[in-house]
Structure 1
Amino acid sequence: MRMLVVWCPDWLVVAAASGAGLPLTIPMAVVAANRVVASSAVARAEGIRRDMRRREAQGRCPELVVFEDDPVRDARLFEAVAAAVEELAVGVEIVRPGLVAVPARGPAGYFGGEEAAAERLIDQVADRAGVECQVGVADGLFAATLAAHRGLVVEPGRSAEFLAPLAVNELRQPGGPDRAELIDLLRRLGLRTLGAFAAITERDVATRFDTDAVQAHRLARGLDERPPSRRRPPPDLSISTELDPPVERVDAAAFVAKSLAERLHAGLAAHGLACTRLGIYARSERDEELGRVWRCAEPLTPNGIADRVRWQLDGWLRVGGPTAGIRTLWLEPEEVVEGKALQLDLWRGEGHAEAAEKAGRAMVRVQGLLGPEAVCTPVLGGGRDPSERARLVPWGEELTPAADPGLPWPGHLPAPSPAVVFPDPVPATVFGEAGEPVHVTDRDMLTAAPATVGVNGGAPRPVAAWAGPWIANERWWNREPRCHARLQVLIGAQPAQAALLLGYHQGKWVVYGHYD
Structure 2
Amino acid sequence: MRDTRLLAVWCPDWPVIAACTATGTSPHVPVAVVDGNEIVSTSAVARAEGLRRAMRKRMAESMCPELITFEHDPQRDARFFEPVAEAVEELAPGIEVVQPGLVAVAARGPVGYFKTAEQAAERIVDHVATHTGTEAWVGFADSLFAATKAAHRNVIVPPGETAEFLRPLGVHELDSPELVDLLRRLGLKTLGAFADVPENAVASRFGGPATRQHRLARGLPERPLDKRRPAPELVVTETFDDPVDRIDKAAFAAKILAERLHDGLAARSLACTRLGIHARTEHDEELHRVWRAAEPLTPRGIADRVRWQLDGWLTRERLSSGIRTLTLEPVEVVHGTALQLGLWGHDDERAVRALLHVQGLLGPDGVQVPVLDGGIGPKEQVRLVPWGDERVPLRNPDHPWPGRLARAPATLADEPADLWDAAGEEIGVTGRLELTARPQRLAVKGKAQDVIAWAGPWPVDERWWAPDPHRAARIQVQTNGQAFLLIRRNEKWFLEGVYD
Question: Structure 1 counterpart of 2:242, which letter?
Answer: P
**Which whole-Å deviations, capped at 9, do the CAs of 1:289-328 have from their partners, x for residues lacking one?**
0100000121111111111111111100102553221111
| C-alpha deviation, 1:208, in angstroms | 2.2
**Residue 230 of structure 2 aligns with which residue?**
233
Counterpart residue number, 1:501: none
- Measured in 1, the distance between the counterparts of 2:318 and 2:43 equals 29
DSSP 3-state at the match of 2:25? coil
In the alignment, structure 1 residue 56 sits paired with structure 2 residue 59: yes
**Aligned position for 1:288:** 285
Among 220, 241, 245, the alignment partner of 2:242 is: 245
2:252 match: 255
Determine helix, strand or coil for the equivalent of 1:142. Answer: helix
1:26-82 deviations in Å (ceiling 9; x for gaps): 111111121111111111111211111111111111111110011110000000110
Contact in 2 for aligned 1:272/1:342 (Cα 8 Å): no
Equivalence for 1:121:
124
Asked if residue 219 in structure 1 is aligned to residue 222 in structure 2, the reply is no
Counterparts of 2:324 and 2:49, CA distance in 1: 49
Q: TM-score, normalised on structure 1? A: 0.64
Q: Could you say if the C-alpha distance between residues 333 and 47 of structure 1 is closer, same or farther in structure 2, counting changes exceeding 3 Å?
A: same
Do the aligned partners of 2:271 and 2:339 also contact (CA within 8 Å) in 1? no
Which residue in the other structure is 1:467 paired with? none
User: Is 2:85 aligned against 1:82?
Assistant: yes
| Paired position in structure 1 for 2:149 | 146
Does the 8 Å CA contact 1:282/1:328 hold for their aligned counterparts?
yes
1:249 counterpart letter in structure 2:
R
Aligned to 2:170: 167
Give the number of aligned pairs.
338
Distance in 2, Cα, partners of 1:79 & 1:125? 12
Partner residue, 1:199? 196
- Shift in CA distance, 298/341, structure 1 to aligned 2, threshold 3 Å: closer
Report the Cα distance in structure 2 between the residues aligned to 1:191 and 1:165, rounded to whole angstroms. 11
- Counterparts in 2 of 1:193 and 1:84: CA distance versus 1, 3 Å: same
Q: What is the SS of the residue equivalent to 1:192?
A: coil
- In structure 2, distance between residues paired with 1:144 and 1:320: 32
Fraction of identical pairs, as percent: 64
Length-normalised TM-score, structure 2? 0.66
Q: Rg larger in 1 or in 2?
A: 1
Distance 1:311 1:342, change over 3 A: closer
Distance 2:217 2:261 in 1: 33
> Matched residue of 1:146: which SS?
helix
Contact 1:272 1:341 in 2 (8 A): no
Report what 1:502 is aligned to: none
Three-state SS of the structure 2 residue aligned to 1:136 is strand
Q: Distance in 1 between matches of 2:199 and 2:56?
A: 37
Rate the CA distance shift 1:152–1:91 in 2: closer, same or farther, 3 A.
Answer: same
- Whole-Å Cα distance in 2 between the matches of residues 152 and 143 of structure 1? 11
- Does the 8 A contact of 1:76 with 1:314 survive in 2? yes
Cα offset, 1:135, TM superposition? 0.3
Distance in 2, Cα, partners of 1:101 & 1:225: 14
After the TM superposition, which segments of 4 or more aligned residues of structure 1 sit over 6 Å from their partners? Answer: none
SS in 2 for 1:298: strand
Alpha-carbon distance in 2 for matches of 1:321, 1:154: 38
Unaligned runs of 5+ in 1: 173-178, 344-352, 354-516
CA contact (8 A) 1:80 1:320 kept: no
Cα distance in 2, alignment partners of residues 167 and 76 from structure 1: 32
**In 2: Cα distance, 1:337 partner to 1:116 partner:** 35
2:104 is aligned to: 101
Partner of 2:179: 182
Q: How much does 1:117 deviate?
A: 0.6
Q: Which moved more, 1:13-22 or 1:198-207?
A: 198-207
Q: Describe the SS at the equivalent of 2:309.
A: helix
Which residue pairs with 1:20 in the alignment? 23
Aligned residues: CA RMSD: 1.6
Correspondence for 1:270 among 264, 267, 278: 267
Aligned 8 A contact 1:194 1:220 in 2 = yes
CA contact (8 A) 1:315 1:321 kept: no
In the TM superposition, 1:384-423 aligns within 5 A as none
Q: CA deviation at 1:25?
A: 1.3
Q: Which residue is equivalent to 1:132?
A: 135
Find the aligned partners of 2:317 and 2:115 in 1 and give their Cα distance.
30
Partner SS, residue 158 of structure 2? coil
Aligned to 1:316: 313
Give 1:195 deviation, angstroms: 0.9
